[in-house]
Amino acid sequence: MENILSMLIFFPAAAAVVGFLIDKDSMRQFGVVVTVVEFVLSLLLWYYFDTSISDMQFVQSLPLISSYGINYLVGVDGISLFLIIMITFMTMIALIGLTEKKNVKNLIITMLFLEMTMVGVFVSLDLILFYVFWELTLIPMFYVIGFWGAEKRFYAAIKFFLYTFTGSLIMLIGILYFGYIFHETTGVWSFSVLEWNSIDLPFDLQLWLFIAFFMAFAVKVPMFPFHTWLPLAHGQAPTIGSIMLAAVLLKMETYGFIRFSLPLFPDASVYFAGFMATLGLIAIIYTAMIAYAQEDMKQMIAYSSISHMGVITLGVFALNVEGISGAVYLMIGHGVVSGALFMSVGVLYDRRKTKMIKEFGGLAHNMPMFALVYAVVLMASIGLPLTVGFIGEFLSLLGFFKYSPILTFIGALTIVLSAVYMLSMYKRTFFGRLRKPENKILKDIHGRELVALTSLVVLIIALGIYPKVILDPLNTSVTQLTKVMEVKAVNDSTKEKLSLLNSTGEVK
C-alpha cells in the first residue's frame, strides 16, 4: 500500500492514454470502468488509513531536482482523505450520468487527465509539485469549456484561464521566496511543507507570503471581488464541466488555505481573519441576492456556489477545530450537492435545450421521480437537518461564533437567502400546470440518469444522518493543525487568541 497514492494519481492518466486506442463506441463504458476502479482504490486508501493518527500517512518521496530540494513528495491525512474520495466518486458519477454526445471519446480522455491533476493537488506535500498539479488542472478544464461549451465558450474559457493563471503566478513567487528563506535559514534547499513547518517566520514576512498565496486561492474560490469568471464559466461549460468545477476545483483553494496558509503563516492568518471573514460575508449576501435575480437555472446555482463558499471561508478562518472541520465537511457536502444540482439542470437541458426557468412549470406531473430527487438535493443545498449540507454549515458557523457572534448571525443568513431563491426556482419549475406543450412530452429520469442522481441522494442523506464516519479522522488532523499554528505563532497575542478560539471561551 505504500504506492497507493501514486496509483491514484497516475492510473487515470495511464487509462486516458490507453483510451486513444479504444473504439469510440466503447469509450463510455471504458471511462466508467476506469473511474469505478479509481473509486475503489480511494476506498482502499480509506480502509488502510489509521484514523487515530494525525500525521501524514502513505508518504512517498522520490527526488526530482535534488540540488534544489524539489521532490515527488505525496501523503494524506484526515483533511485530504475524504476530499480525494469525493474526487473519485464525483468523477465516476459524472461519467455514469454523462449525456454529452459530441466527441465523447475525447471528452472522457480529458476528464481522466483532469482526475489525475485533481488528485495530485490534494496529495502533494512538495510546494513545487503542488503548483505543477495546480496549474495542470487548467489545461483539461480550459479544453472542456472551450470545446464542449455553449455560444460564448471561448471567451469563458480564456477568462477562466487568465484569471486563475495570473493569481497562481503570484503564488509561485511566494513559493520560490519561501524556499529561498528556508535555504538561508537552514543551509539546505527544500520545498516540503513538512520541513517548512520547522521554521518560524517573522510577522512581516508572514504577511507578504500570506498575500501571495491568497491571490491564487482567492481567485479560484472565487472570493469577492475575483468571482466574475465563475458564473460565466459555469454558464458556458457543458454539464460535466460544471459538475467537476463546482464539486472539486473550487475546493482546491479553501484546501490550500487549510493545508498551507494556516500552518505556515499562523500570525498572518489571525491578522487577516477579520478581512477574510468580511469577504466571505460579502460573498454570502451579495451573490445570494444575485442568485435570486437569475432567470437562468445554471447561473442561479453558480452564484449559489459562491455564496456557500463564503460559509466555508468563515469556517476556515474561525481558526478552531469546529470551524475548520465544518469547513472541510461542507467542502465535501457542497461538492456532492452542487454536482447533483448541475447534473439535474443537465437533465432538463438535454431534454429541452434550455436552462431558463420560465420555460418550465408543472414538471412534477410527468417527471415525479426527478421532482423528488431534485427536492432532496435542493433541501441539502438549503441546509435542511439530516442532510449533508446542514452538518457542514452548522459546524462552520458554530466555530465562527467563537470569533464573532454578530458576524455569525449575518453569515447564517445564507440559509434563509438560499431557501428563498431555491424554493422559488423549484416552485416555478415543478409546480403549477403544464402550460407549454414541449414539457408535456418530457420523460422522467431513467437508466444512467437515475443511477447517478439516486446515488448522490443516498450519499446526501447518509452523510447527513451519520457524519461521525468522516468527522472522527477529520477532527484528529484538524486538532493537530491548530496545535501547530499555536506553537509556530511568533506573537504572544496570536498564541493567546488561538488558545481562546480553541477553548470554550469567546474571542471578542
Tens-place pLDDT, residues 324-366: 999 999 999 999 999 999 999 999 988 888 888 998 888 999 9
The alpha carbon dihedral of 8, 9, 13, 14 has a sign of: negative
Structure confidence by residue, pLDDT tens digits, 440-463: 888 998 888 999 999 999 999 999
State how far the Cα of 50 lies from the Cα of 474, in Å rounded to an integer: 12
Name the DSSP letter for residue 50.
-
pLDDT at 436: 85
Query: Is a pLDDT exceeding 60 seen at residue 505?
Result: no
Reply yes or no on whether the pLDDT at 117 is more than 50.
yes
Judge contact between 96 and 449, C-beta under 8 A. Answer: no
Q: What is the spatial distance between Cα 251 and Cα 402, in angstroms, rounded to a whole number? A: 24
For range 238-250, the mean pLDDT: 86
Count, residues in the chain? 508
* High-pLDDT (> 90) share of the chain, %: 57
At residue 60, φ and ψ (nearest 5 deg) are -135, 135
Mention every residue, 6+ apart, whose C-beta is less than 8 A from residue 430.
360, 361, 362, 363, 364, 367, 371, 374, 375
The C-alpha cell at 15 is: 487509462
Closest CA relative to residue 395, chosen from 496, 485, 458, 464? 464
DSSP 8-state assignment for residue 431: S
Interval 44-65: pLDDT, tens: 999 999 988 888 999 999 999 9
Residue at grid coordinates 477553548: 503
Q: What are phi and psi of 152, to 5 degrees?
A: -100, 30
Residues 423, 441: Cα–Cα separation, whole Å:
24
pLDDT tens-digit readout, 403-437: 888 888 888 877 888 888 899 999 999 998 888 88
Task: Please give the DSSP secondary-structure letter assigned to residue 419.
Answer: H
Q: Which three cell numbers stand for residue 140?
A: 483539461
Q: What is the mean pLDDT of residues 257-281?
A: 92
Q: Tell me the H-state helices in 187-261.
A: 193-196, 203-220, 229-236, 239-244, 251-256
How far apart, in whole angstroms, are the C-alpha atoms of residue 467 and residue 150? 38
Residues 363/429, Cβ–Cβ less than 8 Å? yes
CA atoms of 264 and 256, how far apart (whole Å): 11
Q: By the 8 A CB rule, do 226 and 282 touch?
A: no
First to last CA, the chain: 47
* Whether residue 508 has pLDDT greater than 50: no
Q: Which residues, 6 or more positions from 458, have their beta carbon under 8 angstroms from its beta carbon? A: none
If you average pLDDT over residues 271-275, what whole number do you get? 92
Q: What's the pLDDT band for 504 if we cut at 50, 70, 90?
A: low
pLDDT class of 506 with cuts at 50, 70, 90: very low
Helix, strand, or coil here: 102?
coil
> For residue 370, how many C-alpha atoms fall within 13 Å in the half-sphere facing its CB?
26
Q: What does the block give as the cell for 252?
A: 482546491
CA angle 391, 283, 419 (to 5 degrees): 50
The verdict on pTM exceeding 0.75 is yes
Confidence of residue 507 (pLDDT cuts 50, 70, 90): very low
**Of 441, 435, 243, 269, nearest in space to 342 by CA:** 243
> What is the residue type of 247?
A
**Cell numbers placing 247:** 464539486
Amino acid, res. 105: K
At 26, list the grid cell.
466503447
Cell 481573519 sits on residue: 273
For CA atoms 232, 449, 355, 349, give the dihedral sign.
positive
Q: What is the pLDDT of residues 136-186, one digit of tens each?
A: 999 999 999 988 887 888 898 898 888 888 888 999 999 999 999 999 999
180-227 pLDDT, tens digit each:
999 999 989 999 999 998 888 899 999 999 999 998 888 877 777 777
How confident is the model at residue 237, as a pLDDT?
86
- Cell numbers at residue 382, please? 438549503
What rounded mean pLDDT belongs to the chain?
90
Using DSSP, state whether 70 is helix, strand or coil: strand
